[in-house]
Structure 1
Amino acid sequence: MQLMNEQIKKYFKSKLEDSLDVKYQELYFLGQNVELIYINSICDTDKIQELVVKPFFEIQDIRKFETYLKSLQSYQEFEDMEKALKEVLRGGLVLLTCKSVHILSLKNYVSEGVKKAEVETTIQGPQMALSDDLQQNINMIRHRYHQPSLIVEKEEVGSVSALELMIVYDKKKVDESILKNIKDKINEIKSSKEMVQSAGEFQRLLTPQERTLFPVHMITERVDRVALNISQGKVVLMIEGAPFSLVLPAVFYDFMSSMEDLYQPFWVGKFLVSLRYLGLFISLTLPGAYVAITAYNPEIFKVQLALGVAGSRASVPYPAFLEVIFMLVMMELLTEASIRLPKSIGSTATTVGGLILGQAATEAGLVSNIMIIIVSAVAISNFIIPINEMSFAMRVVKYIILVVSTLGGTIGLIVSLFALIAYLVSLDSFGQPYLRLFMNEAKGK
């Protein structure tokens, strides 16, 4: 039997690798010993202490102890090593004695204190969000990703803050060169940075291209998105005290996709993705196109539309460029105000403020009626981007395109769009082309 126990331990160690939360515990008393194998992030350690450890020292007889184990409701017969591994991955405990093997189901599923996703919301999908507690986060990820190749490693970042950093990945699917690159970056940050307190701050430290406008690593609060990205061979970083994780590498398509796409019918999901790209195009080009056509090429409009635009702008005393800039900046201020104000009054105050401002500005002849429509369309289109980091980046880019369009007209608009695409093509995220439309679902596919 001792030989079989050694084979079981060797099997588990080969399958579970050296993950931080995998425990191999031995208990000795009066010449008798038992060995425990479990994953402490999804196994109820209080029940282990109460149902296994204390009775072992109190009963003092290995045969009586085995009889006691079989009387427990959570007890399961050992059939083979593969099924035992599956039980461990779901919160079970394997107990090895000198004569037999026992399995106890002691799953610990965290439900209290789990927050709902507020930044990346879905209608039909799971609502769980990551928390400030790393162990709770690992628990939720383990319950969504039952694979023995899931590895959890611990580091410490910030020479002063000294916060724990969890590195989570699937060893079978991750690209070893990317993983090594990430660990090298982490080691550089450990020695050079005193304070690291959030995933966003850590993202800036990891960014290979200094001062890049577009995010090349994704920050998410959703547990299901974390599990999905791990299955695609990506690496997830979680910092102690921060309810967000950092997913890397990340390409442009990742920032335009929502978990809702997976929970809707196929064609509905594709329609939603197409709608986001349409909204992105409108948000980027509409202000610049309005200025370029109004100031340089009004002949592009049909006669009726050109006359309507001209009549709307008849009372506006300054160029279209200043009109657009004024309204876009006011919209940005309203957006920031809605974020900073208390939630109970934020949406109401900014909605009422926007309506009053738009109506008053139109009646005073400061902006045209069509400008109100354009700014509203731009604001709505910008908010359709599911990941905030990309939304913020596009809010900045539209001003660059607007300036170039003001200077060069429609030619400037086209040139700025080509320049944007060229810039995105030049970016990469740990070796992955940034403008790659679809990430492979798994390594090697």
Structure 2
Amino acid sequence: MKYGSLSEEGRWISLKEMKQGTFLVCIVRLAPSIPKFLYRPNLHSRRNNLTSVIWKIVSAGSSPTPDVFTHQLLLHRLSPTPPSPPSAAPPSGDLSFAAKKPLFHSNHFVWQLLPVALRRILSKSVRTPLIKLIRYLGTLKSYVRNRGRPEGSIAEGYLAEECLKFCSLYLADYVETKFNQSTRNDDTTIGSTFTLDVFTNSGYPLGKAIATKFDDETLKKAHQYVLFNCHHVQSYIDEHREILNLSYSGLPPHQIERMHSESFASWFAKHIEDTNLPQDDPVSNDLKSLARGPNFIGIQYAKFVSNGFRFHTKEVERKRKTQNCGVIVRATTSSYSSIRDQNPVSSELDYYGIFKNVIELDYGGGRRVVLFECDWVSKGKRLKLDDDGFVLANFTNVKRHNEPYILASQAMQVFYVEDPVDCNWHVIITTDA
């Protein structure tokens, strides 16, 4: 059994113990080294860096395997003041990224990415509580004002936090506190005057607007997506599908679905024009504007705030170190096992995308719809699940999707972290607004 040192006091812990889930033993043995990490004056020393503690956990054993060695190098890049990389080279593996600059300069990002770096070293039952403990220690560290009396500073900071939280419960209706203040990406909007859900404003743009003349293919795909995602149009969608099923009963279902997608927009426009809808009904007026289609002149943006997330296009981020271009959307799709399959199966799939563009369609009378254009991957060879439950995506030379657009209100955000084993694959990290 191989052992690795956690501290200079001679405290030892086996990697096998941690993989078996003996987390309590790990914390008890780790405890003596925590105060030195948190409170010593020289915060830039190797001993006082949290990644040094994790480094010693990962470095357990005299002869690391290639997989362990690779993740040691990843921790070396994640560390704001990284310790020296291992002196002994692994039996096999690429050391090219060992000499690169650190990925980030903030311990906040290190804590976020530690699960990725340790996913093949520690089991999930050990990794999850360990990361929670590290983040809470960071909270306690923020209370320290007098480094000579760290215990008293933590006690005072914790007491002040509890007092402020208690008082804010009585002042919430009159005073803005950190518990009721608006978030940085707050996208709360005033109620819309239109009745269709697609015309309801969701979020707001950042930066200048660029007036653009859209080509026919862009308008066709964007307008088609808007129609199929409008709640008030669902009854017309079912009616059109039923007409096609009766007219082309001999065709396979997947061909009928294709005809339905391609011909519904023109059928819907003609159907609304021939139908005598009430003139003073708000729903009828919105349906008429929607059926006529959007104006060929629209607006493009490079940045947008929606659902509490800030999205930047991939082009904007080429000159930045931050990442806000990861998008995820959950869609219901019908799957066919073969061309002869008569019973398609509906299922929900997660689509992961790279944010490319924002377009705003103008339907007249102030009715506007904001769409996100993305490069998408879903199930198949470009998505995989590793042994520890992490989803990885490959966006190398990804082809343009047949349906590249989604409504801005449907977009949620994810982050992509490059896999140290294969740079073409990225670990998907979900986040909350």
TM-score with structure 2 length normalisation?
0.26
Greater RCO (Cα-Cα under 8 Å, separation 6 or more): 1
TM-score with structure 1 length normalisation?
0.26
